[in-house]
Amino acid sequence: KRQVEVDSDNKKGNTALVSTLKGEGVAVVKTSMSTKDIVEKDAGICAELQRVLMKKDTYPSIWKKS
């Protein structure tokens, strides 16, 4: 089960922090949807990456490489 938390007052174009469940900063993003749009969608791109904060290989990859 995946857990996602979104600030209730997020607006399109805001700068936001993507973090782990432990509160570790993963990346800084610029939102491309408001909170309302994010909650209503099942899939899609909700943010544009601005900067990665977490070092590579901090956690093992869970995505399959093709």
| Contact residues for 44 (Cβ-Cβ < 8 A; gap 6+) | 33
Q: What is the pLDDT of residue 3?
A: 63
- Looking at residue 50, its amino acid is Q
Query: Across-strand partners of 52?
Result: 27
Going by DSSP bridges, is the β-strand pair 47-52/25-31 parallel, antiparallel, or unpaired?
antiparallel
pTM, full prediction: 0.77
Q: What is the pLDDT of residue 6?
A: 83
More confidently predicted of 66 and 35: 35
Could you read off the pLDDT of 10-63 as tens digits, one per residue?
A: 899 999 999 988 999 999 999 999 999 988 988 899 999 999 999 988 988 877
